[in-house]
Amino acid sequence: MKRVLALLFILSTGSVFGENVILAVVNNSVITSNLLEASLFNLKSKESKVDFINQRINNILQLQKAKEFNIEASLNDVNLALLEISKSNNTSLEQLQAYPEFLSLKTEVSEKISILNLQRYITKDVTIDENEAINVCSKKTSGKIKQIKIAQIIISEIEAEMQIDKDIAIKSFLNKLSKHISKGASFENFAKLHSQHSSYAKGGITDWIEVNNATVKMLDSLKNNEVSQIYMNNFGFAIGIKLDERFVSSNIKQCKEKLIFLKAEKFYSNWVNGLQEEAFIKIYHDAL
């Protein structure tokens, strides 16, 4: 309740300016003294007032873009946020709505959700190179886990004579492939030709796999160019070879998410700065 009361106190502070004065123009929007009088009331220096106006300009530019992209806050999202505010302050939504400045609070919540929607929209494709993440995150933490990369030939179906069990036929076929590969045949070519898994297009090569179960440990123990024994996975029977190994941070996922967040934050900040460069902005410093 104290947080809401504090916000409402700020919003309801008495008039500071004698008349409604235009403080800035942003494209086709204006910032007036009546709109910001309560927020400017506690700012004493002109520099701090200019900083505040610039922040408001940034908000307006972002809200204009959110409207342009049709990703403004929905009424349902605003109502849910207001409900959470009332709950966190141990009051009901009806009591919150009874405050004189509730509409101002509702507008502020709507603006913040719209800007958050815009941030997500603009940064949705921001990512980080896997090798860069591994390099940075491995230096930051001491706990390490082992991962390996393998290539597999996976067979799930095969034509067999009626008297021969399908599983036996698949294993027999994989054994023949294994012998050929052991004598120098290309595993990659055989995978592209025979594997019935979607990875066949890449020669059966997988993504990095954590060494955390018996099958992967068996594959991890393989020597260079050694073909594994036949094993089962979720797609059928398979043979594999070990291609590479690495040790990565035990919390690589969380670390990578943080790196992406920081990169997205910087990307978005630069993008907003670009909005300022393209927009028509005029601040009336004499009116502050």
pLDDT, one tens digit per residue, over 72-86 is: 999 999 999 999 988
Among 62-76, 90-104, 266-280, the least confident range: 90-104
Of residues 226 and 131, which shows the higher confidence score?
226
> Are 45 and 35 spatial neighbours (Cβ–Cβ below 8 Å)?
no
The lowest-confidence range among 35-49, 53-67, 99-113 is 35-49
> Considering the domain 142-249, what is its CATH architecture?
Roll (3.10)
CB-based contacts of 46: which residues, under 8 Å, 6+ apart? Answer: 285, 288
Residue 132 corresponds to which tokens in the numbers above?
């860069």
Least Cα distance to 187 among 168, 197, 200, 198 occurs for 200
We find that the CATH architecture of domain 2-126+263-287 is Orthogonal Bundle (1.10)
Q: How far is CA 217 from the centre of its chain?
A: 32
Ranges of CATH 1.10.4030.10 domains, the chain:
2-126+263-287
Q: Which amino acid does the sequence have at 54? A: N
What tokens does 45 get? 């220096």
Buried b (16+ CB within 10 A) or exposed e, 249-282: beebeebbeebeeeebeeebeeebeebeeeeebe
Positions of CATH 3.10.50.40 in the chain: 142-249
If residue 286 lies in a helix (H) or strand (E), which one and from where to where?
A: none
